[in-house]
Amino acid sequence: MRGAYATTDHALRAQWTDGSFENRVTHVLRGIAILGTLATNIWIFTNPEGLVGYATRMAPGEGELYWTAKVAQQLAQGKFLGLLTIMFGIGLAIQQESATRRGVRWPGSYPWRAALLFLDGVVHFILVVEFDVLMGYAVTGLVVAYLLVRSERAQRRWMWSTATFHVALLTLATVAILAAPPSNEPARQLDPNPYADGSWWDLVVFRLDNALLFRIEPIFIFAMSIALFLAGARLYRAGVLEPHGHPIRVRLMIGAVIAIPFDLALGLSGNTAGMLIARYLTASIIAFGILGLVGEFYVQHTRVGFAGRRLAEVGRMALSSYILQNIVASTICYGWGLGLASKSPDNARVPFTVGVYLLVCVVIMTFAHLWLQRFERGPVEWLWNASYRRITQRAELAGSTAHRAP
């Protein structure tokens, strides 16, 4: 049995040696994370009141449809956000490793990368959706980039300290929710409703007017994000995506199996405090299990396969895919586009949501496949990379000029 994990296939060993197979598995994981976050966010798009309606009345429908929606939401809730966060940490470790091989000092010009990602997030937040994650990842990535140059012991301390702080903050929030007196007032409806009746510009103004409210989550999970970034980087260096990382992957999967029943019980309880713990604690443990499961599957297979290739294409242009899926879903659901969310009856909300999700996935996968047949990078990645190169070249030129000045 041990020999099975030693990966005796010559072609697979060669792929692992040159890093190509590991890179493809990383792309697959990013693709899963991107389409997985859509599985959570799609319920926001198909709610006639958007994020506001989703936050106050999460599950649509009644009877069996209600519980179908609750279970479907809970299966995705927080897991793929956690996986995406972990993958960002792995991406940082890969960039640091690449810089070290090239003899470039780390973090070097990475702050420019973080600044451009933050700018992408600002534009995405204002023009597309209010639940953008890019701004939070930009700030977290900047902090973690500097932590990665510290000793392994220091990184481990930071990881556990931020994780402990997050759990403490989550505990305080849970206690506050449980101690608050119950409210018998029905949830207020948006009037006017910019999601169903407003123009694209009305939604832009609505986001700006409520920017602080919409940006609470990235602030609340900042410590958790640092911990997950550092954990992702540490797991990558430990070989979680390499053949010898089998024991690590097993531990991750065991942790997820233990967490799943607690996550479902908390998320389906109907209690806000339970849903909070599920989204921001048990979901992250399950995200590590997904990482271990996907890694284990591909370590034992010499081919990525058709589904894997489509997911890898989405992962290769993850930034473009993430933004595009939100644009497509907005166009289908919001009033400034087709406005189908407000036109869909409540008793058809669940099949409508599933249908929109599948349609958007097909659009994103098809676009990624066709685009990457002609171009090396996704459109947003190309613009981001061109901007980064232009900025860093100008910075180097300015530094060189200043150095030569008498």
Least confident of 3-7, 101-105, 295-299: 3-7
| pLDDT of 376 over the 60 cut | yes
How far is C-alpha 163 from the chain's CA centre? Answer: 18
Task: Look up tokens 């009305």; give the residue.
Answer: 202
Count other Cβ atoms within 10 Å, centred on residue 338. 12
What is the domain partition of the chain in residue ranges? 2-178+190-397
Q: What DSSP state is assigned to residue 344? A: S
- Mean pLDDT of all residues belonging to the chain: 88
Q: What is the 3-state secondary structure (H, E, C) of 130-191?
A: CCCCHHHHHHHHHHHHHHCCCCHHHHHHHHHHHHHHHHHHHHHHHHHHHHCCCCCCCCCCCC
| Mean per-residue pLDDT, 311-333 | 96
Q: How far apart are CA 73 and CA 27, in angstroms?
A: 25
Split at pLDDT 50, 70, 90, the class of 403 is: very low
Task: Look up tokens 């910019």; give the residue.
Answer: 194
| Mean per-residue pLDDT, 217-239 | 96
Q: Is 383 helix (H, G, I), strand (E, B) or coil?
A: helix
Q: How far apart are CA 19 and CA 17, in angstroms?
A: 5
| Mean per-residue pLDDT, 244-256 | 96
Q: How far apart are CA 104 and CA 106, in angstroms?
A: 6
Report pLDDT digits (tens) over 32-84.
999 999 999 999 999 999 999 888 765 665 556 788 888 999 999 999 999 99
Residue 304 confidence (pLDDT)? 78
Residue 55 confidence (pLDDT)? 84
Residue 74 confidence (pLDDT)? 93
- Give yes or no for a contact between 287 and 83, defined as CB atoms under 8 angstroms apart: yes
Q: Which residues contact 392 (CB under 8 A, 6 or more apart)?
A: 109, 112
- Give yes or no for a contact between 118 and 135, defined as CB atoms under 8 angstroms apart: yes
Task: Look up tokens 């669940």; give the residue.
Answer: 350
Report pLDDT digits (tens) over 127-148.
999 999 999 999 999 999 999 9
- Give yes or no for a contact between 371 and 317, defined as CB atoms under 8 angstroms apart: yes
Q: How far apart are CA 328 and CA 295, in angstroms?
A: 30
Q: Is 105 helix (H, G, I), strand (E, B) or coil?
A: coil
Least confident of 1-5, 260-264, 363-367, 398-402: 1-5
Residue 58 confidence (pLDDT)? 59
Least confident of 10-19, 361-370, 390-399: 10-19
Split at pLDDT 50, 70, 90, the class of 187 is: low
Report pLDDT digits (tens) over 281-299.
999 999 999 999 999 998 8
Count other Cβ atoms within 10 Å, centred on residue 42. 25
| pLDDT of 395 over the 70 cut | no
Considering 19-23, 147-151, 295-299, the range whose residues carry the highest mean pLDDT is 147-151
Residue 1 confidence (pLDDT)? 38
Split at pLDDT 50, 70, 90, the class of 199 is: very high
Split at pLDDT 50, 70, 90, the class of 184 is: low
Q: Which residues contact 213 (CB under 8 A, 6 or more apart)?
A: none
Residue 64 confidence (pLDDT)? 63
Count other Cβ atoms within 10 Å, centred on residue 123. 13
Q: Which residue from 307, 370, 311, 261 is spatially nearest to 87, judged by alpha carbons?
A: 311
